[in-house]
Amino acid sequence: MKKALIMGVDGQDGSYLAELLLEKDYAVTGWIPVGIPVADNNIAPLRERISIIKGDLSSQASLLDTLTETRPDEIYNLASPSFPAASWGDPVMVGDIAGLGVTRLLEAMRCVTPGARFYQASSSELFGVPAQAPQNELTTFHPRNPYGIAKLYAHWSAVCYRQHFDLFSCCGILYNHESPRRGLDFVTRKIAHTAARIKLGLDGELRLGDLEARRDWGFAGDYVRAMWALLQQEEADDFVIGSGQTHSVREFCELAFACLDLDYHDYVVQDPLLVRPPEPTQLVADPSKARQVLSWEPVVSFVELVQMMVMADYQALQ
């Protein structure tokens, strides 16, 4: 039985990954940060089937203890502040956890479990203002917020530990991936949740920024399959993971409200204070390498994703 350590198991991706690995008969240990309140609703159904360990990504000793205790075959690092726009609120903390924390984890791996396989959750935020569209593994990085900068530091740390110490260290450069477990700070969940509240008479309007902003959106459950596939390769490598298609916020609204037999025009208000500067180049994935090497394809369509999120919130609120 393989042993897996999932850093950030309580999050959207961590919980879906835990479910996937349990289906594959892994012994799963989930890591959560010590001293920080963590909502466990995502992993509540799994608590009898996984072990939980607490630790601190800002402490080298804590990470050494974590790996010494768990001795995993596979390490999935999904522990990071996950809302890029909010990273301006505390850029030092974001850099310490999302950036230096990964180097501490890699160093602990080098010292304690050098034969383990490591997955680093990189992000399309590495590209920031991309030089080309779509983006692939060779596209120049150009992050534009503290989150993207920290993720770039972590990404290159993972690459350098692979090259210098011959660790099996992989990075998945993931584009936006959503689910009913997404936090309410994210526009997709905000739309789904508010549409459900409006249908139930709990709200009267939804205020959004630029309705024409476009994103490459996929389902988180599909994307964790790619994470696992990265660590099953003969050689460690990095992959862009995304749908390769973009959809607008307006499209998301139209589908979300239509799920509940509502017309989004009657409820969505465009708030100028929420409008961000226009993006000169579109962030959209070129997942050709993942298709060819990993045989990975997303299964859940954009329409199915929106319906899934809306109905989950509607049923929960009922």
Q: Catalytic residue positions?
A: 123, 125, 147
Which of 167, 186, 169, 168 is closest to 177 using CA atoms? 186
- Side-chain half-sphere CA neighbours of 160 within 13 A: 10
- Interacting residues of 14 by C-beta distance below 8 A, sequence separation 6+: 6, 7, 8, 30, 42, 43, 76, 78
Q: Is there a contact between 80 and 8 (Cβ–Cβ < 8 Å)?
A: yes
Where does residue 40 rank: exposed (0-12), middle (13-18), buried (19+ CB within 10 A)?
A: middle
Radius of gyration from C-alpha coordinates of the chain: 19
Query: How do strand 3-7 and strand 27-33 relate by DSSP bridges?
Result: parallel
Running DSSP on this structure, what letter comes out for residue 228?
A: H
Where does residue 92 rank: exposed (0-12), middle (13-18), buried (19+ CB within 10 A)?
A: exposed
Q: Is there a contact between 289 and 137 (Cβ–Cβ < 8 Å)?
A: yes
Q: Is there a contact between 117 and 76 (Cβ–Cβ < 8 Å)?
A: no
Q: Is there a contact between 132 and 286 (Cβ–Cβ < 8 Å)?
A: no
In degrees to the nearest 10, what's the CA dihedral of 1, 155, 13, 229? -50
Count of Cβ atoms closer than 10 Å to residue 209 Cβ: 15
